[in-house]
Amino acid sequence: MAKTSGAMHVESSRRPHVRKDGTEVVYERHLLRRSFRNAEGKPDKETLANLSPLPGEAIAAIRAVLAGRTLVDVADAFEITRSLPHGHVAAVHAMAGKLGFPALLGPAGRARDLALALIVSRVVRAKPKLSTLSWWGDVTLGADLGVADASPAEVYAAMDWLRGRQDAIEAELARRHLAEGGMAMFDLSSSWMEGSHCELAARGYSRDGKKGKTQIEYGLLTDAQARPVAIRVFAGNTADPTAFVEAVEVVRTKFGLTRLTMVGDRGMITSARIEAIKDTGLSWITCLRAPDIAALAADDGPLQMSLFDTHDLAEIVHPDYPGERLVACRNPALAELRAHKRADLLAATETLLDKIVARVQAGTLTGQDNIGLAVGKVIDKYKMAKHFTLHIGQTSFTYQRNQTRIDAEAALDGIYVIRTNLPTDDLDPTGVVVAYKNLASLERDWRNIKTDDLDLRPIHHYLTGRVEAHLLICMLAQYLTWHLRRAWAPLTFTDDQPPPRDNPVAAAKRSQAAIAKAHAKTDPDNNPVRSFRGLLDHLATLTRNTTVFAGRHIDILATPTPTQRRAFELIAAPIPLTLT
């Protein structure tokens, strides 16, 4: 009987061997063999080739082919058809999920998906809405949230929907972060407008120093840690105290809080506003203006430098502030900074005045009115007019420093006097100062909202509802950013070891660890640190790649860098292949 044909296979064996010198070696043998039945019908096999000299990859390929697998050239079979930035939107979306944003915004639906996409986009890439629309198709956010094909009309409709949900959203944030007996901070800012048809646009005091533009104003209400809770939009010529009254009304009527301490700056919580809220049950913490501080120090008043001989805090009383506590605080570092700044501004003002002196002496500027007009244009450019005495004649002009006024102002450098109606049992002097100084966190967040992170300005919308929706989106984006900045502090220049808050002077400084991190651009383990925006840009390099292999479409993430892995670990989230 002839041999029957059989299946071929690779047979491998290993044989250890000990040499004379005692070393052990292993001999491998790979044979190409065929199984068959012999003439007697019994199973048998024969060796067709010795594959041992071949490379291991070749032997593995022969084994795979004999097992029925099809081998193809990788260059011909593998293709990346699309690569989209993924890590940055995935991280921000993951944080939004952990903070309960979907439920916070409202019922599930197309409008909520678009609103969430707008908020995440504002954190990742703060650009106008129409620019954001085209960008959605260039990152995984658009495909995963199903908004890549959204039209401008849909986006504007989603903004209107979100604006209609503002009261419910803010009420939930207030429930999370404000409580009876707690604290809230309020501050007002402004941004200029593009266009001329917004009914809120008006000319007022520009906090951006933007001349020749109309503006709107908006007030941000936060908790004691500067976490955003509510935002209100006002006409561009609204006074600070008026905005504060609106904030108080929101706290009392919208949030139902009657025992809350409002913290605001001296321009916000004025004596008139304090008088107006006395019967509301709300407490307040604010600061005296410079003239009021000077009045306390004049004529052997209660504010004397000897108070700070042993401590940087002192509590005083004065009959002009019945039922109030006045807490004086001296910051030596700030005093030194203000002295240097005053010297620089005085010198800069003198440089401008010297030019006018030269013109008068050269005879190119004459007449008391003309000289006075020229002086008026420059004398208060640096807010130093109060420190100069001017002598203007028909053909002469001289000036001199008013050293008495300069010395009087210098004596109060670095001194704050904080006023509050909170009793000592509720908050000690140190706590009062710390609560007021927390406003610096809110002012820093304004910079983040307006420039660094969210680029709120300028505002292009002209319908009142759309302007309010835009500000609400920015506020919610800042809420996300607030949490992300703190979670990612070890990876960024953010101070993750701040000094204790029980020392108001020390608390205003950055820790030595933060200073060292900023100087070296690395953390203590020599890992690179970045700015918050730089970290988001680095996360964007974590891409999702759509590949075609052997006719199949597969999505694959790029291998994360150690920093990218750490960023997701710090927000306690896995790196997702898709956002949803």
- Give the C-alpha separation, 576 to 580, whole Å: 9
Among 123-127, 306-310, 527-531, 565-569, the range with the most confident prediction by mean pLDDT is 565-569
DSSP annotation of 530 reads B
Buried b (16+ CB within 10 A) or exposed e, 392-425: beeeebebeeeeeebeebeebbbbbbbbbbbeee
Nearby residues of 406 by Cβ (< 8 Å), 6 or more positions away: 342, 346, 387
Give CA 201 to chain center in angstroms.
Answer: 27
3-class SS of residue 143 = helix
- Give the C-alpha separation, 244 to 231, whole Å: 12
pLDDT in tens, 248-301: 888 888 888 888 888 988 877 888 888 877 777 788 899 988 888 888 888 777
Please name which of 508, 315, 266 lies closest in space to residue 427, comparing C-alpha atoms. 315
Average pLDDT over residues 342-371: 94
pLDDT in tens, 373-387: 999 999 999 999 999
- Give the C-alpha separation, 202 to 196, whole Å: 10
3-class SS of residue 445 = helix
- Spell out where 402-478 has E strands: 415-420
Contact call for residues 186 and 268 (beta carbons, < 8 A): yes
Please name which of 298, 286, 350, 296 lies closest in space to residue 324, comparing C-alpha atoms. 286
Q: Where are the domains of the chain?
A: 8-71, 166-331+414-482, 333-410
- pLDDT for the residue 446: 65
Q: What is the CA radius of gyration of the chain?
A: 35
Among 30-39, 398-407, 450-459, the range with the most confident prediction by mean pLDDT is 398-407
pLDDT at 115 over 90: yes
Residue 119 burial by Cβ neighbours in a 10 Å radius (0-12, 13-18, 19+): buried
**One-letter identity of residue 437:** K
Handedness of CA 79, 84, 85, 91 (dihedral sign): negative
pLDDT in tens, 157-170: 999 999 999 999 99
Give the number of other Cβ atoms within 10 Å of residue 15's Cβ.
9
Please name which of 200, 184, 202, 327 lies closest in space to residue 268, comparing C-alpha atoms. 184
- Spell out where 261-311 has E strands: 261-263, 283-287
Task: Classify domain 166-331+414-482 at the CATH topology level.
Answer: Transposase Inhibitor Protein From Tn5; Chain A, domain 1 (3.90.350)
Whole-number average pLDDT of the chain: 85
- pLDDT for the residue 163: 94
- pLDDT for the residue 236: 73
Nearby residues of 431 by Cβ (< 8 Å), 6 or more positions away: none
- pLDDT for the residue 40: 80
Question: Which residue is it, tokens 């009261």?
Answer: 167
